Structures are given as structure tokens and as C-alpha cells.
Chain A
Amino acid sequence: MIPAPFEYVAAASAAHALDLLGEHGDDAKVLAGGHSLLPMMKLRLAAPEVLIDIGRLTELSGITSDGDELVIGAMTRHAELAASALVRRGAPLLAHAAAQVGDPQIRHRGTIGGSLAHADPAADLPMALVALGGSVELRGPAGVRTVGADEFFTGYFETVLEPDELLAAVRVPSRPGQPWGYQKFTRRANDWAIVGAAAAGGRIALANMGPVPVRALAAEQAAAGGASPAEAAELAAEGTSPGEDIHADRAFRQHLARVLTRRALEHQRH
């Protein structure tokens, strides 16, 4: 499979990438690791006229501490995130989630910014960001705005990112020692979650239970009110309306959400 022709520009800096986005707008797509975009282009589900490659921008890579938050450059690869001592200490759920993405080859290429901007509700990192209550830094012509995880995702493969904006960095709270749970149900190696559940700090996020990674709010409230993990998890599918596909119908997904939430709450790590 071969993508439709496009113009390729290697951005020299984040500012250059923003200029190019301003110039080309909707006709352009940002290329990070390319492990969501290139498969879609090969299938001709996406056919951007211009690809803006940010893959060499070291200014968009790397992980630092900023007060009680970790700041993760958009170009940080999954393998780097999974191995980072800072992330493993301050946000181990995120390091664990990164290690669940695809397979080693995919983790060598895929990036946190690319995964979040792609916004697949079945993917690991969007669910992790919502579970952690993190945020994203969106850089645009007017400056930087920070958007919380609960507001960033708006629909299947849709976010609040404007065509002239670049997802530059990701922020997550650093909470060493905070218990966390992560459950991902798949039937094949290196697959997306049929349903996933992630819990940390009183928040519970679900993957593939709707068009965006959703919070299990009823279960969160029950747990906060003293309910046992099993009791709280019974409410995990409240208000969800998951899609149906060859892997699971709606009732099975809702069943999985309850089971995986219970396991995420019962089997917490530090």
C-alpha cells in the first residue's frame, strides 16, 4: 500500500512548524512518529497535501519536572516514556500505559503527542491522560494554551486542536507512591483495548467505551463515598454508550468495563 502523493517538509523548529501550519491549515498534517498517520495514509483514509515532519525537533522531546508536574515533550517516544525514571516514579501509570502500546518496534517510533492528537478512544495514552487528570500544551499563532484531559478529546479521532495549532507538550501530576491500577482487555498481541480501565487518585478512565476516553464518574463517586471496589465497579458502565464491532457488542463492553474497573481498583500498585 502506498500513500497518495504529498509534499514533505521537515520542520526546522517548532516555530517553523507553526508557520507551515498557518500557511497550509487543513491541507497539512503534522508527522511525529507516523504510527497512526502513515497507516491511515496507506489506506487512503487520510490524504494530506502537506506533511510537516516534527520528528527531528529535539525541543519537542524529553521529560522534565516542573513543580509537582511532569512535562513531557510531544515527540517523546513510547519506549522513552516507559523507561523514564522520572515518569516511573511520579506517574507510573503513564509509564505502564506507554509499555502497553503496540509492540517494541511501534514503541520505538510512536510518540505521546501523536497518540493524543490522533485521539483513538481505544488507545492507551488517551485513557492514561484522563485517568491522571493531565493536560496538553497547545501552541498556536497567539501563544500557548493548556487544555485539561477532560476537555481535550471531543469525539472519535477529534480533539480541540485547531488546524494552526501544535500539540507541544503533555503535563501530568507527579504523585510518587500514589496507588494506581491499569487493565487492558485484548484478544491478540499488540492490539488496541477492546475495553480498558485505568484508576489513579480517585479518578477512573475507560478506553473504548465511547467516542472519547471517558470517566467512570458514578464509580468514582461511589468509591469516594466509601463503597468497596466491587460495589463501585458495578457502576462503571453507567452512562456509557460504547460502540459495537466484531470484538464486542454493547452489553459485553459494559460488562468488561465493570470487571476491568473492579480489577483496576482491587489490584493497585504503588
Chain B
Amino acid sequence: MQVNLTVNGKPRSDDVEPRLLLVHYLRERLGLRAANVGCDTTSCGACTVLLDGESVKSCTVLTAQAAGQEVTTAEGLGDGDTLSPVQAAFRQEHGLQCGFCTPGMVMAATGLLAENPHPTETQVREGLEGNFCRCTGYHNIVRAVLAAAEAGGRDPAGDPATATAAATAGPGQSAEAAQ
């Protein structure tokens, strides 16, 4: 079936099987590998992307369900070499260890701050309830989200020009794939 949708600002029209999950479409058809397949059971959040601005687990959304909607992946954050405020905050606060959960954490945090720009620490922890970090690096992840909120949409390091997209590239993530 033909599906028309927007991915990271670019209109797409692709012939897909109805059963093609959004995460497989992003990773295998478009080469956007930021969203990881972790648990594959709607639990771990590694596949989190934004669908019309809301965080969703792309392992549990059919590509067909995203028709007519705007999908944003971690590749679609930031602008060229400039990191998004949340990405920059994760870098600043060392909000990652192995990096596998990071794209999902960053997208969940981005969605959380869009809904609640000034969350308390408790609200951040509850807001990231759907994302697991098996390195158990939650402390710095929460600090990163609070720092991004504090910076209010600016780079918490105060120098956006020094931030580079490569700094938050997770395993298997390709900056080129976003192009």
C-alpha cells in the first residue's frame, strides 16, 4: 500500500506492506537508525520517535498508521552541526553511557519538554518512565533533561557553535542517513 507521510521535515511516499512497523520503515527503508529496536514489546522505549510532536514507541505503530503525519527521529533534531537543546544537554551532563537507549531518551525528553517546558525532577523521572537505561545511568539523564529545561531552548553549554551532531550519535546511527 502507498503511504504518504513526513519524516524529519521531508515528505515521503512509499509502497509498504501493511504490517511494516514504523521502526522497521525508519531503520530499513529510510536508513534512519537512531531509533533502536530494544525489547520489541512496547516496554523499553529505545524506539521512541515523535509522531505529530508526541512521543510514541515506533515498534508498536504501523507505518500505515503514521500516514499523513509528521515523524521526527533523533536525526531530525538540531540543525546541521548544531545540536538541539536536549541533545546538547545530554552531552553536557554525560547523560549516556553505552548509548543504546540515548536516541529514545532524547526523543522522549524532547516530547516531555514540549508538553511541560519546566518539569520538576519528579515529573522528569515520571515522564521518562517508558524508557529504560540498562547501564542504569538515570541520574545524569534526569540532570540532562533538567538542564535542557533550565536552558529554555538554548544550548546549556552556552556555545551552540561548538556542539556537533557527532557528539550524540549512538551505535549504528548514521548522520548521513538523515540526509
| A and B held together in a complex | yes
Q: Are A8 and B56 in contact (CB under 8 A)?
A: no
Checking B24, B56, B67 against A10 with a beta-carbon cut-off of 8 angstroms, the contacting residue is: B67
Question: For the complex, what is the distance from the CA of A23 to the CA of B61, rounded to whole Å?
Answer: 25
Q: Which residues of A contact B45 (CB under 8 A)?
A: 103, 105
A105 touches B18 (CB 8 A): no
Question: Is A55 an interface residue, CB under 8 A from the partner?
Answer: yes
List the A residue with the shortest CB-CB distance to B68: A56
A4 to B18 alpha-carbon distance, docked (Å): 10
Contact B64 A105 (CB under 8 A): no
Q: Please indicate the chain A residues that have their CB under 8 angstroms from the CB of B41 in the complex.
A: 1, 39, 42
State whether the Cβ of A189 lies closer than 8 Å to any Cβ in chain B: yes
Chain A proximity of B142: nearest CB distance (Å): 14
Cβ-neighbour of B129 out of A4, A55, A190 (below 8 A): A190
Q: Is the CB of B40 within 8 A of A35?
A: no
Count of interface residues, chain A, beta-carbon cutoff 8 Å: 30
Interface residue? B161 (CB, 8 A): no
- Any A CB within 8 A of the CB of B179: no
Instruction: Contact check, B130 vs A38: say whether CB atoms are below 8 A apart.
Output: no
Contact across chains for A55 and B65 when beta carbons are under 8 A apart:
yes
Task: Indicate whether A6 reaches chain B with its CB closer than 8 angstroms.
Answer: yes
Distance in Å from the Cβ of A101 to the closest Cβ of chain B? 11
Considering the complex, give the chain A residue whose CB is closest to the CB of B49: A105
| Interface check A145, CB cutoff 8 A | no
- Report whether A6 and B129 are in contact in the complex, using a CB–CB cutoff of 8 Å: no
Interface residue B60 (Cβ < 8 Å from any Cβ of A): yes
Task: Given the known inter-chain contacts A102-B130, A104-B127, A190-B129, please indicate yes or no for A39 contacting B42, CB distance below 8 A.
Answer: yes
* Bound-complex Cα distance A188 to B45 (A): 15
- Determine the distance from Cα of A6 to Cα of B64 in the docked complex, in whole angstroms: 12
Smallest CB gap from B54: residue in A = A108
Query: What chain A residues lie within 8 Å of B60 (beta carbons)?
Result: 34-35, 38-39, 109
Determine the distance from Cα of A206 to Cα of B24 in the docked complex, in whole angstroms. Answer: 39
A190 touches B43 (CB 8 A): yes
Residue numbers in A under 8 Å from B19 (CB-CB): 2-6, 41
B21 on the interface (CB 8 Å rule)?
yes
Do B62 and A105 have beta carbons less than 8 Å apart? no
Please tell me which one of the listed residues A6, A31, A41, A104 contacts residue B130 in the complex, with CB atoms under 8 A apart: A104
Asked whether B111 is an interface residue with its Cβ less than 8 Å from the other chain, the reply is yes
Chain A residue at minimal CB-CB distance from B41 = A39
Q: Interface code B34-56, partner A: CB below 8 Å = 1, 0 otherwise?
A: 00000011110100100100111
6 pairs, A vs B, C-beta closer than 8 Å: A38-B61, A42-B40, A51-B18, A53-B65, A103-B45, A109-B61
Which residues of A does B touch, CB under 8 Å? 1-8, 10, 31, 34-35, 38-39, 41-42, 51, 53, 55-56, 79, 102-106, 108-109, 189-190
